[in-house]
Amino acid sequence: MKINGPNQSDFNPYHKQQLPKQTEVKQTMKKDQLEISNEAKQLHEDNRENNTRNAKIDRLKEMIESGEYKMNYDQTAQKLIDFFTGK
For residue 87, give every residue at least 6 positions away whose Cβ sits within 8 Å of its Cβ, in sequence order, or none.
81
Q: How far is CA 29 from the centre of its chain?
A: 24
Residues constituting the chain: 87
Say what the pLDDT of residue 5 is: 66
DSSP state letter for 7: T
Nearest CA to 60 out of 51, 50, 70 is that of: 70
> Mapped to the 3 state alphabet, what secondary structure does 28-59 carry?
HCCCCCCCCCHHHHHHHHHHHHHHHHHHHHHH
**Tens digit of each residue's pLDDT (9 = 90 or more) over 26-56:** 666 778 888 999 999 888 888 877 888 889 9
The mean pLDDT value of the chain amounts to: 81
